[in-house]
Amino acid sequence: MTDIPITTAEAVVQARSDAHRAAPFVPLPPAAARLVTLAGVVVTVASTFMSWTYTTEFPGDLTVSGYPGGLQVLTLIGAILTGVIALGAFRVKGLAWLNPSRSNNGVLLLALGTLGTTWYTVIDIAAKLGGMANLDPGGFVAAIGSLLLFAGALALPIDRHPVEPADAEYFELGRLSGNGPTVGAYRWLREARLNHSDLPVGDARRLNPWLQRLAVVVVYAVGVKIFTYGVATNYSDIFIGYLIVVSFGFLGLGATGLLRQFRQITQHNRRFSTAIGVLAAVAYPFAQNNEHWANLGVSILIVGTVALGLNIVVGLTGLLDLGYVAFLGVGAYTAALVSGSQFSIWSGTQFPFWAAALAGMVVACIFGVLIGAPTLRLRGDYLAIVTLGFGEIFRIVVRNLDGVSGPKVTNGPNGIAQIPDVSIFGYNLGDQHSFGSFTLGRFANYYLLMLVITLIVVLVFTRAADSRIGRSWIAIREDEIAATAMGINGFRVKLVAFALGASLAGLAGTVFAHVTNSVVPDPYVFSGSVPPNSAFLLAAVVLGGMGTVSGPILGAALLYLIPAKLDFLARYELLAFGLALILIMRFRPEGIIPNRRRQLEFHEDAATASDQPGTPGDDTVPVGAAGA
Amino acid sequence: MTTTIPEQPSPQGAPKGTALLEAKGVIMRFGGLTAVRDVSLTVGSGEIVGLIGPNGAGKTTFFNCLTGLYVPTEGTVSYRGTVLPPKPHLVTQAGIARTFQNIRLFANMTVLENVLVGRHTRTREGLLSALIRGPGYHRAEARSRERAMELLAFTGLAGKAEHLARNLPYGEQRKLEIARALASEPGLLLLDEPTAGMNPQETRATEELVFAIRDQGIAVLVIEHDMRFIFNLCDRVAVLVQGEKLVEGTSDVVQSDERVIAAYLGEPFEGAPADEAEERENDR
């Protein structure tokens, strides 16, 4: 991948404007800074081959010398990644392509991730096992090595945010008013902000097409591996280390420009990368043979798909729907009623799955229209409150249709249990099936079924978003008055969005009912500690990125996995939830995967820099169908 | 000034050609405030008609009555002989497009997408056809894009099709609003202060653009404060003061009307705010 033309690289150097600031945090001669960084890498890597603690009580067994285990692996990966990116930043021959933006920011962020996970491990050992005495020399070496690495990275020239004129004025005022220390601290924080979004990177689309495809395959394979690793962690300690490494790895690779180049490639080879993305998602249940992980996969796909449906309503059309989970419930209950369960009032009727799915969609769509028709005349906060109300009404009505308080339809709080497994063409999804050396269990089967549904929803989302109706949704979101003045029947278009969103949730609900074997009214609340609930879905959309395909799926995956893996969070889940949302609103309001439009909306200063012509159709409908 | 002043019986004052837009006795009240009092206005096909008046005279309110954003308290608005329903999207469908005084583009859509939204009423593809994507869908989409690019070329924005609307300079945003309005294939275009905030060159360019639009057979009704612009451009000018139509006629008739001058100088009307147009008038 070294054959990015020289001319591009030169243009990159020249394109760095004078306005750009790059300064180290720690003053050191450049050569010394590089040396310290690399020394830190070497020491940290070496430490992972030592024993960190005496006892095997700490999760992951860190007692073995000779090969890394548990959290040591994460430190090792972090350190190697940092080292490689650092070599790229130092323009070492043959490795320069690893750091296309030529920025040291990636090194700093990765070093911070390595430091974080290493120190977390060391402190965790000391805290869990009762004191520093439990640390082997290896633990100290690791702590010192990662600190050295971080210190070295701090001494490298770091690309900073340009100083804003308003800031300068404020600092001057602060100095004059005698609030020196406060303003000084604020000033340090403002000037410490990293900025690498406007650094030019070479055009990856000029690479050899086969190399591009290879890159796509490798990245998706690594993606599946990373995802599977996260799902497979069986201790919350390891999962925290994993989270630290993955998030700083993501930020660090973003700073190197590699992610931008990868996006160029996936857009350039859209069909190919979509196909590989689907393949990667299909490979997930085959890559491991663990029903628990497959169950996590199904749950993530279900909430991700529902979040994607909500994204049509919230992300594209701009209608805040706080009762969306009710449509999932409508789909689930419809499927349960026609499933042939003995608790259903129609226990004799058993629809084939396709008919049940269709029924779930249609009934959810009808409910969408029924609820949408009166409420969509309201705007903004009023709509949000009314949808919140309807969401609760659904749950309470379902609770009461038990034959005592109301007609017997849903069996009240007991719900409809013993929903039989889906059977498609004689393939019973409830049974274990073997294909050569692969075995697919019940949840793996449902995972594959749900994947098909997710792909359908992704297809519906992308096609609808990029069409006359999708444009009118976005127009309504942007300016409803102007949209109606352009001839858009606002109410009708919003109703279509609402009904479509409802039917997609209903579709996912039909699978949800079968996977969980039973439907009860309780999960369909506005906010609760167990997904799916409306607040969870909304958070997934906002966290992942409004208006994108992969955003809500990724958001749902994170919001589902994190509480599932960190059992100690259980009591504080809602608190953590709120905190995460506040942080994301403060630091990345466009979500993890930004829609190009949204990003420009929230970061106006970067607007002109990144909106060069010639990059049309950016991330509004991105590839990479599955979040894997 | 509560009585209606009849139209000037001037031969040039009558609308040319057949009447396209006919507003009869439009009254708009907001609670106790009457913003538009019994205004009648006719726009003939192929005409450029100006609507002037001091700030707060009710010009934009009148515009909103014409385009269905407001439902007039009394009076009717008809287009090509049919009374218009008070729904903005139906008015646009009937063939009246408009721009806004404070630019209302879809800021986070590209320039091309903005114009494509304007094509909404002239295309039929619904959700189902977008999902199935048959040949008909692709044909319609291609036609829309082609037409939108033509309009962008017409307004001089073809090179910026993939830019976000919010990143365009002010003058180009105004042009884009016009292109977006033209995309709905209107018979009548309503422009609400199309040159506000423009420099003299840009104003002249807009003038030429409006003439070019007229030459395509589209009638234009324009609100403007720039008197030179209005009097160069318009076949007829109507003056609105405190919600009432003071006078209507050719540029000469309006310019020489004492009441108009008085209205702009602010003497007989209490509370009529001063504006730039007044200053420009003074400069003459």
pLDDT at A623 over 80: no
Find the closest chain A residue to B98 by CA distance: A485
pLDDT at A19 over 80: no
Tell me how far apart the alpha carbons of residues A116 and A93 are, in angstroms, rounded to a whole number: 30
Local confidence band at A342 (pLDDT 50, 70, 90 cut-offs) = confident
Q: What is the mean pLDDT of residues A137-148?
A: 92
Q: Considering CB atoms only, which of B109, B131, B162 is closest to A613?
A: B162
Please tell me the predicted confidence (pLDDT) of residue A428: 84
Give residue-wise pLDDT tens across range B124-134: 888 888 998 98
B130–A468 CB contact, under 8 Å: yes
Q: What is the mean pLDDT of residues A6-18?
A: 43
Q: What is the mean pLDDT of residues A256-272?
A: 89
Q: Considering CB atoms only, which of A459, A471, A600 is closest to B113?
A: A471
pLDDT at A616 over 60: no
Q: Which residues of B touch A (CB under 8 A)?
A: 67, 69, 87-89, 92-93, 97-98, 100, 104-110, 113, 116-121, 123, 125-127, 130-131, 133, 137, 140-141, 144, 160, 162-164, 166-167, 180-181, 184
A485–B133 CB contact, under 8 Å: no
Please tell me the predicted confidence (pLDDT) of residue B12: 43
- The full 3-state SS of B17-35, as one line of letters, equals CCEEEEEEEEEEEECCEEE
Please tell me the predicted confidence (pLDDT) of residue A82: 94
Residue A106 and residue A95 in contact, taking contact as beta carbons nearer than 8 Å? no
Give residue-wise pLDDT tens across range A540-551: 998 888 888 889
Closest chain A C-alpha to B222 CA, distance in angstroms: 16
pLDDT above 90: percentage of residues in chain A:
42
Average pLDDT score over chain A: 85
The count of C-alpha atoms lying within 13 angstroms of the C-alpha of A365, restricted to the half-sphere facing its C-beta, is 12
Least confident range from A194-208, A475-489, B165-179: namely A194-208
Closest chain B C-alpha to A561 CA, distance in angstroms: 32
Tell me how far apart the alpha carbons of residues A614 and A88 are, in angstroms, rounded to a whole number: 28
Please tell me the predicted confidence (pLDDT) of residue A594: 78
More confident residue, A253 or A232: A253
Average pLDDT score over chain B: 86
| Residue in the block written with tokens 């009904």 | A499
Give residue-wise pLDDT tens across range A357-381: 999 999 999 999 999 999 998 888 8
Please tell me the predicted confidence (pLDDT) of residue A503: 96
A607–B118 CB contact, under 8 Å: no
Least confident range from A344-348, A368-372, A483-487: namely A344-348
A148-177 in b/e form (b: 16+ CB < 10 A) is bbbbbbbbbbbbbbeeeeeeeeebeebeee
Q: Considering CB atoms only, which of A478, A481, A483 is closest to B107?
A: A478
Tell me how far apart the alpha carbons of residues B164 and A503 are, in angstroms, rounded to a whole number: 32
B108–A464 CB contact, under 8 Å: no
A482–B162 CB contact, under 8 Å: no
Give residue-wise pLDDT tens across range A438-467: 888 889 999 999 999 999 999 999 999 999
Least confident range from A80-84, A406-410, B109-113, B279-283: namely B279-283
B141–A468 CB contact, under 8 Å: yes
Q: Considering CB atoms only, which of A469, A601, A613 is closest to B163?
A: A613
Please tell me the predicted confidence (pLDDT) of residue A621: 37
Helical spans, DSSP H, in chain B: 59-66, 88-94, 111-118, 127-132, 135-155, 170-182, 200-215, 227-233, 251-255, 258-265, 276-283
pLDDT at A255 over 50: yes
Residue A563 and residue A321 in contact, taking contact as beta carbons nearer than 8 Å? no
Please tell me the predicted confidence (pLDDT) of residue A292: 85
A472–B120 CB contact, under 8 Å: yes
Q: Considering CB atoms only, which of B109, B130, B133 is closest to A478?
A: B109
More confident residue, A164 or A111: A111
Closest chain B C-alpha to A353 CA, distance in angstroms: 22
Please tell me the predicted confidence (pLDDT) of residue A435: 82
pLDDT at A49 over 70: yes
pLDDT at A256 over 60: yes
Q: What is the mean pLDDT of residues B40-56?
A: 91
Q: With beta carbons under 8 A apart, name residues in chain A contacting B137.
A: 467
Q: What is the mean pLDDT of residues B85-103?
A: 92
Report ipTM for this prediction. 0.86
- The full 3-state SS of B190-219, as one line of letters, equals EEECCCCCCCHHHHHHHHHHHHHHHHCCCE
Q: What is the mean pLDDT of residues A252-272?
A: 89
Report phi then psi at A316, rounded to 5.
-90, -50
Please check whether residue A483 touches B, CB under 8 A: yes
Query: Containing H/E element for B237?
Result: strand B236-241
Indicate the class that CATH gives domain A276-610.
Answer: mainly alpha
Tell whether omega for the bond before B169 is within 30 degrees of 0, i.e. cis.
Answer: no
Tokens found for residue A285: 């249940």
pLDDT at A26 over 90: no
Q: With beta carbons under 8 A apart, name residues in chain A contacting B117.
A: 471-472, 475, 483, 486, 488
pLDDT at B1 over 90: no
Tell me how far apart the alpha carbons of residues A297 and A553 are, in angstroms, rounded to a whole number: 11
Local confidence band at B271 (pLDDT 50, 70, 90 cut-offs) = low
DSSP output for A69-104: -THHHHHHHHHHHHHHHHHHHTT-TTTGGG-TT--S
List Cβ neighbours of B136 (8 Å cut-off, separation of 6 or more).
B125, B129
Please tell me the predicted confidence (pLDDT) of residue A7: 42
Please tell me the predicted confidence (pLDDT) of residue B96: 93
Q: With beta carbons under 8 A apart, name residues in chain A contacting B93.
A: 487
pLDDT above 70: percentage of residues in chain A:
92
Give residue-wise pLDDT tens across range A55-99: 888 887 788 777 788 888 999 999 999 999 999 998 888 888 888
pLDDT at B274 over 70: no
How many residue pairs bridge chain A and chain B with CB atoms within 8 Å of each other?
123
Local confidence band at A167 (pLDDT 50, 70, 90 cut-offs) = confident
pLDDT at A421 over 70: yes
In terms of Cα–Cα distance, which of A51, A44, A50 is closest to A81?
A44
Give residue-wise pLDDT tens across range B11-31: 444 555 688 999 999 999 998
DSSP output for A386-416: HHHHHHHHHHHHHHH-BSSSS-BSS-GGG-B
Q: Where are the domains of chain A?
A: 6-160+246-267, 276-610
Residue A487 and residue B121 in contact, taking contact as beta carbons nearer than 8 Å? yes
Closest chain A C-alpha to B11 CA, distance in angstroms: 35
Give residue-wise pLDDT tens across range B162-206: 888 988 998 899 999 999 999 999 999 999 999 988 889 989 999
pLDDT at A191 over 90: no
More confident residue, A597 or B4: A597
Please tell me the predicted confidence (pLDDT) of residue B220: 95
pLDDT at A390 over 70: yes
In chain B, the domains with their CATH numbers are 1-95+186-284 (3.40.50.300), 104-185 (3.40.50.300)
